[in-house]
Structure 1
């Protein structure tokens, strides 16, 4: 296992820059950092194919906080692109050089599935790859809505780029399904003939990887470009799902980013709240803002969530790599993790940003950027609401099941069973799960049932890991707040009783808040100037300074 990335984060390449560099310089530096991250971890074909512990560890590592764009580039290359190609390498030695280039970052890559007109319905993409009599293919974009709408395809940092492009395979006018093709895009400086890319505007809120539009105008590909064979699949849907299977892994991996995001945000705001003071009344003493319960609650809840979600993510990853877990259930696990991490991540990040004042809005403090990226996690590799609807529907229809609660008498297990029972009874009274009644009554509740399942699973995983009892208690209290009325109606747990559970757990955590903050082990990766007065002064010193020697008296006496 490679050494800690703390050493990498302190290298010259990862040195933090407070000054505002041009967009292109930021992007080029991020590509060099992605290459450094890739060479640090030294992933192998075995890591990619078998999803080893080293593979999963990467996605909760703190190095992502130093450059989120670099980590997005790294994740797309090692999971989506290398992961799609990897299963074919053992049978195709001609792919080995490309795989080595990808893992060593001698080339960069793009994963091109979605199109402008086809996001959630990517099975209906329009891009075609038509088989030719010489064994090759003609790759073509038939309309503006078929332009690939994915992260960058433009030349950056002089590094050649190759893409995995999904297209309809046409053989003698027969549609043989959506297939992946290996397509070189440019040599690091110029686009290859027939490949056209539009650079779209920057996504707002911090350093976030932008998207491009890419089209192909009758690009000739060799026979080796196709990943797979020419034979018509026995089942189009199954073949399509196999070809995009790394999206499931990607959804799981990207969801895990929320763990270091939460750790960073709560560490920064927690430390800031102990240093920032306000005066009590006109002549009172100055006290740290963390004195107030309204400041304590977001910090304590984020600490509890970070402590619970990390072992939950590890447990889900273990289940995902188990040979006894079916592909359908693996997909379900990734949806559950995504729903829970987004619920906690977005909620806590919003609260922490609100409690950090004007300084929390500065891009250099990262809070807004982390919140934006968490929103993007909800869209990337499958939009969270759409995934929730599909998975909840399959559970309600009994197509497969998930592990039952270890302790059915726990509050969270009772909540899960109660909600599921309510929806199952309602679903059985509806004839068509694609009809209007199902749309009106079931769809709006699908995400809630997935969240309930995930909250119960997360709590159990944290108990098994031996997470601090106070943190567990506050996580449970936070889960109760997400559906407070159900606990009042069904279990007779009054709002006052729920409030008191939260109060007691928060008191216990805040009595040892420094220990909990320091145990996050995230400080080496945090660069926020609001963390300390010395960092703030360095930040101010790097800002443009305006001075002058104008005479105010002359200005006052002059006539306007």
Structure 2
């Protein structure tokens, strides 16, 4: 009777936590994607060659498109589009990447800018697959310095695209002939009568399914570990496109009489308007990262329960998960993924509800999304490493899928804005806005179990590092680069604490919205563990500044150890709430209760009718 009651409690707990993770619209935003991607057509053979896998990806992206009732409505809804990526990334990271490029960067940009009279049917039904060519060999995060040119000729009312040097070749776009005809949005510098008007996007047919079109040169780049993506170098030699190929609007356009007109005087703002979908792309990337982390942790906890080793005596056996050295890092990873999940949800909400008319609010929303992207994907790298290590040699095998996701995470860390560059920009903004203030939080009379106190301590740690950055800048030589370099080290530490703080805040908001009871207490324990980890990393500074007492610093590891012990017993409930469909794990040995069966040999001697004599 007691065992049955415990099971029922676990199911209830998982359902309550699932509601927190996915929100009240789970049935509308998540269930359709889970159902669709659970179909056998989306399971692939890990033994396929790279080219076979790539062909599989392009056939499946069209299968996905057939199932989407209205692709244009999807790209106009960044939250729903991101939800697709939560489930798609674990099914196949390359499929997720191709989908992000086509739906978000390509179709999203086409629908967002002045293209109302453009026929989008070839792209909506994927007779033409869309790709996006912005980054160049010599220009990544400094894309505003792109060198590809689009020269407007009033006599022919057309643009001519050229690649002037090796550094201006478009880098990493999926422009090969594999996957059928492709059209790209090409970021190029608009030149009108010799005047540089800034970077705009141009709609350019690239391939016809057999090879590149005249004037377009495509060369495959070396294979990238963990991805079958057809990354290429692409260049243009006097490629002519009509005036309608330019994606223009209030930020810039060529009028009917061949004159450039813009309501935005700054070229950089024109550029940022042109690539507005990059921010939604960041949300899609972190959605996929969170989804893959949830699935990876689900596998790791299962494997830890199913893998048995010699116990404390030679005659005993125990699950490897029972060891604190094994389950401790996984429980910490679970707490991190819950915080990642809630931060991602908050970032998606803020961006979808942003006020486009308020430049200050828009900038704050962009910074929040950008820091969330960098912080979440960096945390995902750590979570993936723990999953891989806790699965031992099994975690290195391709058919278990873990190493592929580790390598894909490395790519995501760089994609849609390199993490380090994003954090440098955010650190600069935080530093410029920082004003040293008298301490608003003191340790006496405050308990480390108080979530509000933990948030205040993280804010204090952030302020300490910003104070140091300002002091370093003032002490540096009076030269711009030296002042920047001296301040950036501590400023980057501050923005990392900021990321941890806003993630803890998003998780705290989720806890506060739950009704009182065991489920809320479980989530509160996760929040405490996550917040305490952040505080512990800066406990020395907090102690020196009087934000913590010596007794509280001594108490930190004791509290964290107690939380690990309690949460380890609930690990299966916590990952069950991730709601990863069983179909996703088909063909993955470590996800099975009897993983040894995947390695069984029908011809092995243990299958003989007569046992071998000892």
Report the TM-score range of the alignment, normalised by the length of the smaller protein: 0.7 to 0.9
Q: Does 1:221 align with 2:252?
A: no
| CA shift digits 1:122-155 (9 cap, x unpaired) | 1111111111221011111111111100231011
> Residue 370 of structure 1 aligns with which residue?
405
**Mapped contact 1:339–1:450 kept (Cα < 8 A):** no
Query: What is the total number of aligned residue pairs between the two structures?
Result: 532
Q: Does 1:457 align with 2:457?
A: no
Which of 353, 364, 386 is matched with 1:351 structurally? 386
Would the alpha carbon gap of residues 77 and 546 (structure 1) be closer, same or farther in structure 2, given more than 3 Å must change? Answer: farther
> Residue 456 of structure 2 aligns with which residue?
413
Distance 2:244 2:343 in 1: 41
Q: Does 1:382 align with 2:417?
A: yes
**Mapped contact 2:526–2:567 kept (Cα < 8 A):** yes
Shift of 1:426: 4.1
Distance 2:78 2:414 in 1: 26
> Residue 67 of structure 2 aligns with which residue?
40
Would the alpha carbon gap of residues 35 and 424 (structure 1) be closer, same or farther in structure 2, given more than 3 Å must change? Answer: farther
Distance 2:472 2:167 in 1: 40
Q: Does 1:130 align with 2:187?
A: no
Q: Does 1:78 align with 2:100?
A: no
Would the alpha carbon gap of residues 541 and 174 (structure 1) be closer, same or farther in structure 2, given more than 3 Å must change? Answer: farther
Distance 2:600 2:539 in 1: 45
Shift of 1:269: 0.9
> Residue 474 of structure 1 aligns with which residue?
529
> Residue 447 of structure 2 aligns with which residue?
none
Distance 1:424 1:366 in 2: 44
Which of 552, 577, 584 is matched with 1:519 structurally? 577
Shift of 1:521: 0.8
Which of 199, 212, 218 is matched with 1:197 structurally? 218
Would the alpha carbon gap of residues 272 and 394 (structure 1) be closer, same or farther in structure 2, given more than 3 Å must change? Answer: same
Shift of 1:333: 1.0
Distance 1:8 1:202 in 2: 30
Would the alpha carbon gap of residues 436 and 178 (structure 1) be closer, same or farther in structure 2, given more than 3 Å must change? Answer: closer
TM-score with structure 2 setting the length: 0.80
Q: Does 1:183 align with 2:204?
A: yes
Distance 2:537 2:147 in 1: 41
Distance 1:284 1:506 in 2: 28
| CA shift digits 1:175-234 (9 cap, x unpaired) | 111111000001122211111111111111x33524210011111111111111132651
Shift of 1:509: 1.1
**Mapped contact 1:66–1:526 kept (Cα < 8 A):** no
Shift of 1:72: 0.7
| CA shift digits 1:478-504 (9 cap, x unpaired) | 323444433444423655422112111
Distance 1:395 1:11 in 2: 46
SS at match of 2:235: strand
**Mapped contact 1:262–1:302 kept (Cα < 8 A):** no
TM-score with structure 1 setting the length: 0.88
Shift of 1:453: 1.8
| CA shift digits 1:100-134 (9 cap, x unpaired) | 43333332121111111111221111111111221
SS at match of 1:299: helix
> Residue 17 of structure 1 aligns with which residue?
45
Q: Does 1:333 align with 2:368?
A: yes
Tell me, which stretches of 5 or more residues in structure 1 are unaligned?
Answer: 548-560
| CA shift digits 1:24-76 (9 cap, x unpaired) | 11001111222233343445545434x3532332232x232111111111011
Distance 2:207 2:134 in 1: 18
> Residue 591 of structure 2 aligns with which residue?
531
**Mapped contact 1:268–1:530 kept (Cα < 8 A):** yes
Distance 1:498 1:215 in 2: 57
SS at match of 1:32: helix
> Residue 59 of structure 1 aligns with which residue?
85
SS at match of 1:198: strand
Would the alpha carbon gap of residues 14 and 227 (structure 1) be closer, same or farther in structure 2, given more than 3 Å must change? Answer: same
> Residue 551 of structure 1 aligns with which residue?
none
> Residue 554 of structure 1 aligns with which residue?
none
> Residue 181 of structure 2 aligns with which residue?
160
Distance 1:451 1:210 in 2: 34
Which of 428, 431, 436 is matched with 1:396 structurally? 431
> Residue 555 of structure 1 aligns with which residue?
none
Would the alpha carbon gap of residues 450 and 317 (structure 1) be closer, same or farther in structure 2, given more than 3 Å must change? Answer: same
Shift of 1:271: 0.6
Query: RMSD over aligned Cα, in angstroms?
Result: 2.8
Distance 2:601 2:553 in 1: 50
Distance 2:219 2:36 in 1: 34
Would the alpha carbon gap of residues 518 and 409 (structure 1) be closer, same or farther in structure 2, given more than 3 Å must change? Answer: closer
The 5-angstrom pairing of residues 435-514 of structure 1 reads 435-466=480-511, 468-490=523-545, 491-492=548-549, 496-514=554-572
Deviates more, 1:533-542 or 1:487-496: 533-542
| CA shift digits 1:291-349 (9 cap, x unpaired) | 11111112111221222222221111111122447321122011221233134211121
The 5-angstrom pairing of residues 273-352 of structure 1 reads 273-280=304-311, 283-324=314-355, 326-352=361-387
Tell me, which stretches of 5 or more residues in structure 2 are unaligned?
Answer: 1-27, 255-259, 442-449, 512-519, 606-614
> Residue 167 of structure 2 aligns with which residue?
145
Shift of 1:88: 2.8
Deviates more, 1:62-71 or 1:36-45: 36-45
